[in-house]
Amino acid sequence: GDIVEDEYSLVYRSRFCFANAAGGHVSARVRADEADGQALLLYDDEADSWDTARRLTSSDECEAAMRAQEGGTCKQDVCPARAAFHPPLGEDSDQSWEVEELPGDHTRPHSFFLAFGNCDGALNVAFDVVMLNKKYGAWGEQFSCEESGLLELHVSFCVLFLLLCGFHTRSFYALRKAQAVNVVISMFTWALFLQLIGLLCGVIHYAVFASDGFGVPGLRDWGRHMDMFSQAAYISVIIACGYGWNVSQRGMERRAKLALSILVSCYVALYTAMVLVAFEALNESPSQSFQSMWSTPFGVAITVLRALSAIWFLWAVIRSYRSENLTDKKTFYRITAVSFGGWLMALPFVLFLSAFLVPYTRIWFITFCLMLATFVSMFITVCLMLPSRAGRYFDVALPELLGRDDSL
């Protein structure tokens, strides 16, 4: 990248979490022109390091914070950078710099913050920096410690959802052949396949990221949007089933349809804002405290919306259950109350639990739990829509032979 600043400053560029074992590696090629005193600096997440340095208020503090740690002492509660590189000026200033065996403290993972600074004047720097976690091997060294394991997680669930989609496809075509596909079954099919597409996009992005450290950001965002549309469609299926649409009755109340449309529209708008706005803002934020997309205002709003959706669904399904007389339909409402209600409440519950975890385990924990909850809930839904059960649970007419087919 390139940095051009007209006044003295400390400019944040990136953050990377190194595992709690020797093996962290930073290499850089830097070219500095026009201004003397420029430095490439590494700070860690100790209280006297980055969190203090980024709040510089005077030139004396600036000089104290931009010295390398070796031989440096703290001054006015400002401590030196953990490592510093001052590139020479001129046409021949393109030079390499390497820092090995990070972090120095092996008791826990540490986040390191990369910044450029100049206490004497402007910044004019071109650079190429690589940070690696060599402890994780060739397929994991590009990942910061809080992202470690995401590639394997996406691959595992992609395989599971691929099998689930194949399983459901057989059921869907059997129902379609019998002209027994209704709106709820169609919406769920879309939700399931959009979930698979989102996971495939994630697998490709993280596989490329493992080799070059950049991945395919456009495909990553596309995958998140597929996940968003999948969740929106699944919420529509859940609320519709709660009201007994295509289960006990052939439609929903007009007010309920309007409320569902507003709910899904708000969900899509908030999720889009979280992916496109909040995620990029977090990447560019110099904050020392670790944050995920779900800790942003958009993420909090989505979490509240999911909790309200769960309350709405449970109210609707209890009402439908009490007004139903058929045993099979009552069984359907009991199963969906647990499956659908559990999926809707999974997000606020998982985020609550993640608040008690150390920061560098949160992304993996949240991602795993949400993927698992989605898979379990969709697996149960696929089983409810089997040709051998659909005739009992949904308002569809199936030939007797198809209704007895347990092979699927």
Report the pLDDT averaged over residues 331-344: 94
pLDDT given at position 64: 65
pLDDT one-digit tens code per residue, 166-222: 999 999 998 888 888 888 899 999 999 999 999 999 999 999 999 888 889 889 889
Cβ proximity of 111 and 45 under 8 Å = yes
State the Cα–Cα distance between residues 334 and 94, nearest whole angstrom.
68
pLDDT given at position 71: 45
Start-to-end CA distance of the chain, whole Å, equals: 55
**Surface-to-core class of residue 299, CB atoms within 10 Å of its CB (0-12 exposed, 13-18 middle, 19+ buried):** buried
Q: What is the pTM of this model?
A: 0.85
pLDDT given at position 12: 78
Question: Among the listed ranges 51-55, 171-175, 282-286, which one has the minimum average pLDDT value?
Answer: 282-286
Report the pLDDT averaged over residues 33-37: 62
Report the pLDDT averaged over residues 297-305: 91
State the Cα–Cα distance between residues 275 and 220, nearest whole angstrom.
10
C-alpha distances in angstroms, 384 versus 295, 318, 333, 379, 381? 35, 19, 11, 9, 5
State the Cα–Cα distance between residues 236 and 408, nearest whole angstrom.
26
Q: What is the largest CA-CA distance in the chain?
A: 86
Check whether 408 has a pLDDT greater than 50. no
pLDDT given at position 303: 94
State the Cα–Cα distance between residues 213 and 143, nearest whole angstrom.
7
pLDDT given at position 145: 85
Lookup result for tokens 């860690």: 44
Q: Percentage of the chain with pLDDT > 70?
A: 75
Question: What is the average pLDDT score of the chain?
Answer: 81
Q: Which residue has the higher pLDDT, 11 or 171?
A: 171
pLDDT given at position 294: 81
Sheet holding 9-18, edge to edge: 9-18, 110-118, 39-44, 83-85
CA Rg value for the chain: 27
Cβ proximity of 384 and 172 under 8 Å = no
Cβ proximity of 117 and 41 under 8 Å = yes
Residue 263 region, left (φ>0) first, then alpha (ψ -120 to 50), else beta? alpha
CB atoms within 10 A of CB 47: 10
The top-scoring range by mean pLDDT among 14-18, 29-33, 97-101 is 14-18
State the Cα–Cα distance between residues 236 and 172, nearest whole angstrom.
19
By C-alpha distance, which of 82, 95, 89 is closest to 41?
82
